[in-house]
Amino acid sequence: MSPSLSTDDAVSHINATPRLHLRRKRIIVAMTGATGTILGIKLLIALRRLNVETHLVISKWAEQTLKYETDYHASNLRALADHVHSINDMAAPIASGSFRVDGMIVVPCSMKTLAAISTGLCDDLISRAADVMLKERRRLVLVARETPLSEIHLRNMLDVTRTGAVIFPPVPAFYIRPSSVDDLVDQSVGRMLDLFDLDTEDFERWNGWKKE
């Protein structure tokens, strides 16, 4: 049996032992031209508050929808992210499976982007990064915004679900008795981040019927 280490030897042994590098959680946020840009804005704000490193990709039409639906400009949106990548930059770190991320959320996700992801088209950075999530078996959440849904939409949703993605329609939860649109948005954002084991603590969870 080996003799016990002295205190000095033990300290030297600990100092010589390689330490694991603990990085911040890292999530890709992609925004397309579908309605619901406020969901992407609130998501980025929540992730910043939770100290999650964000990599943002915004489509051309997402920028237009953002201006139409909110008082935000693209510059305001980019300021909420840690890193911003051009949708045309196919050499960005997030285009490679060797770049470690904890997942990706496309919010809102247009039916065009859904179709591109479903077929593995990879014609821009959003669909390429999503393709990487699927092939690397990482979490991919698609916040699909469309109604009503055609058979084509449903088939594409089924196909990406079978490959590991999560389809997340931002369906309002009226049991929280919302007093504003913000309440509904916060609940949806909170439920999205539940899928990454992140708790925003910004919405009321269901705890059963309340007794009068």
* Residues that constitute the known binding site for FMN: 33-35, 59, 110-113, 145
Q: What is the rounded CA–CA span in Å between residue 107 and residue 190? A: 13
Q: Residues within the annotated binding site for dimethylallyl phosphate? A: 175, 191
Peptide bond into 3 cis (omega under 30): no
CA dihedral 54, 59, 63, 69 (to 10 degrees): -90
CA distance linking residue 126 with residue 62, whole number of Å: 12
E strands, 94-189, are 103-109, 139-144, 166-167
Cβ atoms of 146 and 153 closer than 8 Å: yes
Annotated binding-site members = 33-35, 59, 110-113, 145, 175, 191
Token pair for residue 76?
């305001």
